[in-house]
Structure 1
């Protein structure tokens, strides 16, 4: 699962733990449904596409039958297919710059960055109904599912970690080009890259690593569900995305005290205070990425400082407790305010 799916699963479980029982509706046979196995109530619906009238009717029937006071939808398709009956408040959550028309019929909106909030307001969404609530990442103390020995990496090597879906917008092709510009040894130590993830570019990236002469030092692990514990293998984490509205991988690296280098995407700029909680480099520019990467690898004190500041910032702002408190406050506000069936028409 990607960051959006993991965030959904985390929120459903965290709300329930906090005394706000949350039932879930997922696509039939989805990985999200599997991840929620054992949850108190999880319904499956086809939600095939935006024209799936059957799912629209079944969602409405489900909402009526259980008389939920609030329904919160996640991303475009689920939001478009949800038409809340009178008396039920519809909150739509966006984690990216999606088509606004898929969301306008909701009563209120949750976004996870300041940039997304400003973007919605600029497109006519009522400012008083657009709410910014940060993502959270649970602190995962499980042991790493991998060791350096498993991957054939020397104990004294410098290790960079990158992870995510292997798709063009994640920029792993730029990461490999950047690594090819670095020497094999930095500060007297071998340098290896561990790339955790899977996706349509997996084979192509493997071939690219071979063409660049990196195949002995780039380790493709495939998808790892326990990716956060595996971060303890690394000295540095890089987020090389070409497009990134937020970047949960940055939060996950901070949770483990890893120093972060990110491209200057919307998410990287939103999360990182440059030189304080991380470093930033140009998007889709392997040369600039390599320059910042080498500086981080050559400077142990910088790695330590950035890692410690990132962990402190994470604990203060992106903890489960802080995020769930914000949701509790918002739900209470919406229930006190209430919405009539036609209250969304005056925009």
Structure 2
């Protein structure tokens, strides 16, 4: 099957789910470069004109009302020339950008939603009408959690077209944690952004120190809340106990998992705009490593973490509850080990990368139809 994968951000460190699709689906064609992806895998462009890039930029910036038609013209030509069996669009807005060209070139379209594109208020308002057109045209719509499936149906998607397929995790890379033997290290990984609420994790950990003054919180990631969280650490006089390490590669994150007692993440709906998680890869990776998870009853986390079996879940904003569960696992390393082993088994059974990629392949194949015939 000849797949064309269209996605906006080629170099975003936090979008590991898309990088995994590129790596494991092995698409014959890739397009990146914004919500209207135009950059080909060899660094070229779909615009087949002399001085293609300067002309594209002039049209986009100076004649912005004409740019959608300009883009669709050249994407249609690109699809007709390369004839993919199916196009997988990452994020709803990308699906909307490419759907007219796919229809004109008779290329089946599958759109993969990830989080904000299904829930963020301004996005929903802006794409309300295009989403209806997208849902009607798409052969399949992929969601990463049951909550997201329900939301897309509420937005108008045909339930028969919507497939739940959570992200996969590389269980060979993320492995080897032994919480029962680990020091009192709490690890948190993720962007410093409102829907991950890193400030709530810090405030919960501040309460933990009353009972375990020798505990440490290690936070990996960056984002718009990084500086305010750094200030919070200073204001609470926690510099001796909280380490803000910035962005780290996957191998180093896996090393921190192997040093830690537990993983914590306080995901919540952003009250300002309604944005929320899909299913955070960071939770899956820590679970695969063998760490117990302390998190919130939020989006796909409710499916990835079984309360009392693979970790503990609290309501969004419940800082005290999160602190209490942290204290419980710091008090009881044997319980931390038991929950961590259960967490890894759940990842092997339900979130193994190869299984999730195989399922996504199956969805793409069904969209293309039997015997290579478009449906």
TM-score range, shorter chain: 0.7 to 0.9
Aligned to 2:296: 263
1:69 matched residue in structure 2: 85
Alignment partner, residue 254 of structure 1: 287
Match of 1:212 in 2: 236
Partners of 2:153 and 2:159 within 8 A in 1: yes
Matches of 1:178 and 1:275, distance apart in 2: 19
What is the rounded CA distance, in whole Å, between the counterparts of 2:43 and 2:131 in structure 1? Answer: 23
Q: Match for residue 361 of structure 2?
A: 328
CA contact (8 A) 1:26 1:42 kept: no
Taking the aligned partners of 2:43 and 2:351, their CA distance within structure 1 comes to 26
Match among 129, 139, 159 for residue 107 of structure 1? 139
**Which residue does 1:315 correspond to in 2?**
348
- Alpha carbons 1:76, 1:102 under 8 Å: kept: no
**1:292–1:61 Cα change, 3 Å:** same
Q: Which residue of 1 aligns with 2:149?
A: 117
CA distance in 2, matches of 1:44, 1:103: 26
Inter-partner Cα distance in structure 2 for 1:139 and 1:156: 20
Gap change, CA 1:59 and 1:311, over 3 Å in 2: same
Counterpart Cα distance in 2 of 1:183 and 1:79: 47
Cα distance, 1:318 vs. partner? Answer: 0.9
Partner of 2:219: 195
With the length of structure 2 as denominator, give the TM-score of the two structures: 0.76
Q: Which string of whole-angstrom CA distances, capped at 9 and with x for unpartnered residues, describes residues 222-256 of structure 1?
A: 11122334322311101111132322111010111
Residues in 2 aligned to 1:44 and 1:260: alpha-carbon distance in whole angstroms: 43
- Quote the Cα distance in structure 2 between the aligned partners of 1:43 and 1:78: 19
Judging by fraction of residues, say which structure has more helix.
2
Match of 1:275 in 2: 308
* Partner SS state of residue 181, structure 1: helix
Deviation at 1:279, TM superposition (A): 0.6
Unmatched 5+ residue regions in structure 1? 34-38, 145-154, 341-347
Q: Please say if residues 174 and 289 of structure 2, whose CA atoms lie closer than 8 Å, have aligned partners that are also in contact.
A: no
Note the alpha carbon deviations across 1:274-297, whole angstroms, 9 max, x for none: 111221012122212111111121
Shift of 1:44: 5.9
Distance 1:112 1:195 in 2: 25
Within the alignment, does 1:238 sit opposite 2:244 as a pair?
A: no
Structure 1 length as normaliser, TM-score?
Answer: 0.81
Correspondence for 1:158 among 157, 160, 184 = 184
CA gap 1:129/1:42 in 2 versus in 1, 3 angstroms: farther
Question: SS of 1:173's equivalent?
Answer: helix
Partner in structure 1 of residue 112 of structure 2: 93
> What CA deviation, in whole Å up to 9, does each residue of 1:185-212 have, x standing for no partner?
63xx710000101112111111100111
Residue 56 of structure 1 and its aligned partner are, at CA, apart by 3.3
Contact 2:184 2:330 (C-alpha < 8 Å) held by counterparts: yes
Tell me the matched-pair count: 314
Aligned to 1:57: 73
Structure 2 residue runs of 5 or longer lacking an equivalent are 1-11, 47-55, 270-276
1:75 to 1:228, Cα distance in 2 relative to 1, 3 A? farther
Shift of 1:87: 2.1
Alpha-carbon RMSD: 2.9
Mapping of residues 114-193 of structure 1, within 5 Å = 114-139=146-171, 141=173, 157-183=183-209, 186=212, 190-193=214-217
Deviation at 1:143, TM superposition (A): 11
Q: Take 2:237 and 2:43, find their aligned partners in 1: how far apart are those partners? A: 47
Alignment correspondent of 1:152:
none
* Residue 96 of structure 2 corresponds to residue 80 of structure 1: yes
